[in-house]
Structure 1
Amino acid sequence: MNENHQKPFRAAILRGLGVVLPPLLTIALFIWAWSMVNNYILQPVDWLARTVVVAAISDISDTQTETANYRISEQGPYIPQVVFQRVEDDQERVLDLSFATAEEIYDRYVTLVYLKPWLVAVVFMVVFIIALYFIGELLAAKFGRFVFSQIEKIINRIPLIRNVYSSVKQVTDFLVGDHDMEFNQVVAVQYPSAGIWSIGFVTGSSMRGVREHVGEEMISVLMPTSPMPATGFTVTVAKNKTVELDLTIDQAIQFVVSCGVVVPYGQLCDDASPEQQEAAVRDSVEAILEHKTITSESTDESTG
């Protein structure tokens, strides 16, 4: 296959990746988030609940009693026949009853009868959402904000942890924050030097001292960085030196995250039809991906 035939083939592959990757990455992100919640919250809570239930209902005796009437081994303790029978009938065969202890049998019994995995997951999600709601309401109150600020002060005094916490908090605040309240206008500003135009978000009026010194209306603008607009720089500029853009906050964020590839149709310079505009955006993405592929291949050849 010569080079001329490789280009259409590669373009088709890249076009397919452009269609498949967004939903796959979205699904992967939600799976990752669920895995985090499951591993670090749900599983510990499930283990604690099983431990409490086992301690409350267990009937283990070294001698045969009216209720504990089944001996699990020749030297083992007695447990109720109904408990052993329920675990023995378990179709999943998670537990090897030949070597299982009485505590392990009860633990499996509680899982089968009281704390079924699907039921635990549903109840946990309901309780988790309710807990998040009350935490949000608490933080909206003065006392809640005070307690949270004191906790943050303690965290910010711990070396290393404070750096990680502040970075994570910036990202989470950006993802779950109310951007419409934080940003009220998208503008273009000559930044970081004259002649270089960058997109920014107007966050409010500047400080009075700056306005009085300059003698004209000043505004504060957040200049986001690509591809992570949760970070950036705050600058104070004269309002008459900015250009208001007819963009929504979401459109501006998409432009920044895509490093300028995703341009709203209304802002494309071409006087083209929507189909042509869409093709222009798609071709730009393919060109970037193809450039990355060629660069990677060149790097591999040079290192090889």
Structure 2
Amino acid sequence: MMAKKDGKPRPFRRAVLAGLGVLLPPLLTLALFLWAWSLVESYVLDPVDWAARSTVVAFIDDVHDESPKEVKSSEIGSTEVKTGLIDSTEFVQLSTTQWIPVEIYRSVKSDPGDTDLSQANANDVYLRYVRLNYLKRPVVIVVFLCLFVIVLYILGKFLAAGIGRMTLRLFERVINHVPIIRNVYSSVKQVTDFLFTEREMEFNRVVAVQYPSQGIWSIGFVTGESMQSLHDSIGEPVLSVLMPTSPMPATGFTITVPKSRTIDLGITVDQAIQFVVSCGVVVPINEQVLDGDSSEVKGAVESVVAGLIDDSSDDSSDSSTLTNTADQPS
């Protein structure tokens, strides 16, 4: 015999699912932003940072391949190295036989980071030196973000202009002729356009339409008067209506219906969105339908209120009568 399934609620499972429902949205949002930042850091920030440090190194480096006339053994930070004077400046020899100033070596030796001084060449040491003394990571990130926003602003202004728009169309035309890349590019472009393109859609009013079949009424947002061809073909005014889907009203279907087959609802767009998001649970107060019990309660409350009003009126009348009697002379 088949065992009957226990229909009792499972509080532990329900609590776990509720916890996941609370934690997953912020965690996934954070993970998405971290992933996007890692891409920007790997493919934009790090190359720009390396180029900036290399530029600084090109101006400040002082590297010699020839050994000084007098070489002696010295100890720098518990490491035995060879040093010597070149133009009255003390230099130290690296493992690559290159000579760099001792002060550069000592600075990097105090905080080598991921630089292995036992195998590093002069360029590696200078890159680390620039990182420690000129282009520190927090400063680089702040400057990079400011420049990145400025570049995006300039690029957006350029693409919004005539020449920029023509350049973008030419680029997309070339991409669309590449067999595999065009499929990936078009899909990515649809996603980015959905996320970052500002869409201005104004809903005129909220209506009820028999959709998706006769006898089934759905809430929709009027977006316009549709097309003239449909108006002429049907012979009466038509409306373009966005039929939102629950519980995500941002998506849906656009239909065209005769105006006579729509019912205007006396609710706001916000109230309609709340109704759709809640799957019909949240109903505007002015549109709520009272059941039998609610009607009885409402009638009882109205009777009590009416009785209180009548009693108040009677008391007022009695008080007025007593006052008039007291005022009359005996």
Output the TM-score relative to the length of structure 2: 0.65
Structure 1 pair 50–11 and aligned structure 2 pair: CA distance change class (3 A): same
Q: Which residue of structure 2 aligns with residue 71 of structure 1?
A: 92
Confirm or deny that 1:125 pairs with 2:145. yes
Q: Distance in 2 between matches of 1:233 and 1:147?
A: 34
Q: Which residue of structure 2 aligns with residue 108 of structure 1?
A: 128
- The letter of the residue matching 1:12 is A
- The letter of the residue matching 2:171 is I
Q: Distance in 2 between matches of 1:137 and 1:44?
A: 25
Tell me which of 109, 122, 146 is aligned to 1:88.
Answer: 109
Tell me which of 20, 27, 31 is aligned to 2:30.
Answer: 27
Unaligned ranges ≥5, structure 2? 69-85, 291-330
Q: Distance in 2 between matches of 1:149 and 1:248?
A: 37
What percentage of aligned pairs have identical amino acids?
Answer: 49
What is the number of equivalent residue pairs in this alignment? 265
SS of match in other structure, 2:236: coil
Shift of 1:136: 2.3
Matched-pair contact (CA < 8 Å) for 1:59–1:68: no
Structure 1 pair 167–254 and aligned structure 2 pair: CA distance change class (3 A): farther
Structure 1 pair 123–229 and aligned structure 2 pair: CA distance change class (3 A): farther
Unaligned ranges ≥5, structure 1? 273-304
Structure 1 pair 7–114 and aligned structure 2 pair: CA distance change class (3 A): same
CA RMSD of aligned residues (A): 3.8
- The letter of the residue matching 1:15 is A
Q: Distance in 2 between matches of 1:4 and 1:264?
A: 24
Shift of 1:104: 1.0
Tell me which of 47, 50, 57 is aligned to 2:50.
Answer: 47
Moved more, 56-65 or 214-223: 214-223
Tell me which of 193, 201, 211 is aligned to 1:182.
Answer: 201
**Which has the larger strand fraction?**
2
Q: Which residue of structure 2 aligns with residue 158 of structure 1?
A: 178
**Which has the larger helix fraction?**
1
SS of match in other structure, 1:79: strand
Output the TM-score relative to the length of structure 1: 0.69
Moved more, 104-113 or 201-210: 201-210
Shift of 1:240: 4.2
- The letter of the residue matching 1:131 is V
Q: Distance in 2 between matches of 1:250 and 1:178?
A: 23
SS of match in other structure, 1:70: strand
Confirm or deny that 1:135 pairs with 2:147. no
Q: Which residue of structure 1 aligns with residue 320 of structure 2?
A: none
Q: Distance in 1 between matches of 2:179 and 2:261?
A: 41
Matched-pair contact (CA < 8 Å) for 2:95–2:118: no
Q: Distance in 2 between matches of 1:123 and 1:238?
A: 57
Q: Distance in 2 between matches of 1:204 and 1:10?
A: 47
